[in-house]
Chains A and B, each alone.
Chain A
Amino acid sequence: MSKELKTSGKYLLSARADKFFLSLYQVYRFLLLFFKEALLPPYEWKEVIRQCYNVGYKSLPLISLTGFITGIVFTKQSRPSLAEFGATSWLPSLIAIAIIRALAPLVTALIAAGKVGSNMGAELGSMRVTEQIDAMEVSATNPFKFLVVTRIQATTLMIPILMMYTAFVGLIGSYLNIHANELTSFKAFFQSAFVTITFRDFFISSLKALVYGFTIGATGCFQGYYATQGTQGVGRAANWAVVVSMFLIFVEEITIVQIFNSIRTG
Chain B
Amino acid sequence: MIKQPVHIDESDVVIRLRSLEKSFGNLHVLRGIDLDVHKGENVVVLGRSGTGKSVLIKIISGLLKADAGEVWVLGEDMNAINPKSLRALRLKIGFSFQNSALYDSMTIKENLEFPLVRNKKHLTRKEINLAVEKVLDDVGLLQTLRQMPAELSGGQRKRVGIARTLILQPEIMLYDEPTAGLDPITSTDINNLINEVQQQYGTSSIIITHDLTCAKTTGDRIAMMVEGRFIQQGSFETIFESNDPTVTSFYQYNFINGDETNQK
Contact = CB atoms under 8 A, between A and B. Distances in A.
Interface stretch (A11-19, A76-84, A137-145): A137-145
Contacts of A136: 103
Interface string A132-176: 101111111100000000000000000000000000000000000
A194 to B, nearest CB: 43
B102 interface: yes
A139 B96 CA distance: 11
B99 A139 contact: no
B104 A126 contact: yes
A127 B104 CA distance: 8
Interface stretch (B32-40, B112-120, B185-193, B195-203): B112-120
A7 interface: yes
Interface stretch (B86-94, B123-131, B208-216): B86-94
Nearest to A137: B63
Contacts of A61: none
Given A131-B97, A134-B63, A138-B63, A9 B25 contact: yes
Contacts of A3: 24-25
A134 B97 contact: yes
Nearest to B87: A140
Given A9-B26, A140-B87, A141-B118, A132 B104 contact: yes
B99 A131 contact: yes
A131 B54 CA distance: 12
Contact of B101 (A6, A134, A141): A134
B118 A7 contact: no
A139 B101 contact: no
Contacts of A126: 104
B230 interface: no
Contacts of A137: 63, 90
A143 to B, nearest CB: 11
B95 interface: yes
B14 interface: no
Interface of A: 3, 6-7, 9, 123, 126-127, 130-132, 134-141
3 A-B pairs with the lowest CB-CB distances in the bound complex, closest first: A135-B101, A140-B90, A131-B101
Interface of B: 23-26, 58, 61-63, 87-88, 90-91, 93, 95, 97-99, 101-105, 114-115, 118-119, 164-165, 168
Given A7-B25, A140-B90, 17 more contacts: A3-B24, A6-B25, A7-B23, A9-B25, A9-B26, A123-B105, A127-B104, A130-B101, A134-B63, A134-B95, A134-B101, A135-B102, A139-B90, A139-B119, A140-B118, A141-B115, A141-B119
